[in-house]
């Protein structure tokens, strides 16, 4: 018997300083898998791309969602911009549609839900997606670096945006 997926699988990727975070969703509130893949040392982007290709092979997503990073004016490192470019190229070579959402669009959407910071977005997603609730990091102290788990919620927020925009097109 051949089993067919009933729902669309969306892979949201969020490149970070030490690798990337991902969230695979089957529907707005149905995460299938999520995590952080670290890449340290030289050739971080090549390592990240290999791991992303493994995720594409494993899950065969119907679409990839990324943050739309502008070519200039963004505070993110040039390496992350380059990784973003190579992820889009990889998706095109695999014939997987790519959807991009700006950081402003994500914050604007979540502001309607009362979330105006990365931490508040993570907490909002944690309230609506019970499977991710345990991964919501504690509030960041001003002297500490951002918790790596916030990347999972950045990816989940991008997936959320995808499903919200798809709902508007129906």
Domain count, the chain: 1
pLDDT score for 4: 54
Q: Any idea which of 108-112, 142-146, 158-162 has the lowest mean pLDDT?
A: 142-146
pLDDT score for 142: 65
More confident: 162 or 137: 162
Alpha helices in 40-93 (DSSP H): 44-59, 78-93
5 assigned to some structural domain:
no
Identify the helix (H) or strand (E) that includes residue 12: strand 10-16
> Would you say 20 and 56 are in contact if contact means Cβ atoms under 8 Å apart?
no
Decide if pLDDT at 148 tops 80. no
List the domain range (segments joined by +) for residue 62.
10-169
4 assigned to some structural domain:
no
The CATH number of whichever domain residue 31 belongs to comes to 3.30.420.10
- Residue-wise pLDDT for 61-105, tens only, equals 999 999 998 654 555 678 888 999 999 999 999 999 999 999 899
> Would you say 61 and 10 are in contact if contact means Cβ atoms under 8 Å apart?
yes
> Would you say 39 and 137 are in contact if contact means Cβ atoms under 8 Å apart?
no
CA distances from 18 to 11, 22, 29, 83, 85 (A): 19, 13, 27, 12, 17
2 assigned to some structural domain:
no
> Would you say 101 and 161 are in contact if contact means Cβ atoms under 8 Å apart?
yes
CA torsion through residues 84, 115, 23, 94, sign: negative
Judge if pTM exceeds 0.85.
yes
152 assigned to some structural domain:
yes
């Amino acid at each position: 018997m051949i089993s067919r997926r009933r729902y669309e699988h969306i892979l949201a990727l969020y490149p970070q300083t030490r690798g990337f975070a991902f969230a695979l969703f089957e529907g707005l509130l149905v995460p299938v898998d999520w995590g952080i893949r670290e890449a340290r040392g030289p050739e971080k982007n090549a390592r990240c791309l290999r791991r992303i290709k493994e995720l594409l092979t494993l899950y065969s997503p119907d679409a990839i969602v990324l943050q739309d990073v502008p070519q200039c004016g963004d505070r993110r490192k040039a390496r992350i911009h380059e990784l973003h470019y190579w992820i889009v190229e990889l998706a095109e070579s695999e014939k997987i549609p790519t959807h991009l959402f700006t950081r402003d669009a994500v914050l604007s959407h979540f502001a309607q839900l009362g979330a105006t910071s990365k931490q508040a977005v993570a907490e909002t997603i944690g309230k609506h997606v019970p499977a991710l609730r345990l991964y919501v990091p504690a509030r960041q102290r001003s002297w500490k670096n951002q918790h790596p788990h916030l990347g999972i919620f950045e990816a989940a927020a991008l997936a959320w945006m995808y499903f919200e925009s798809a709902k508007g097109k129906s």
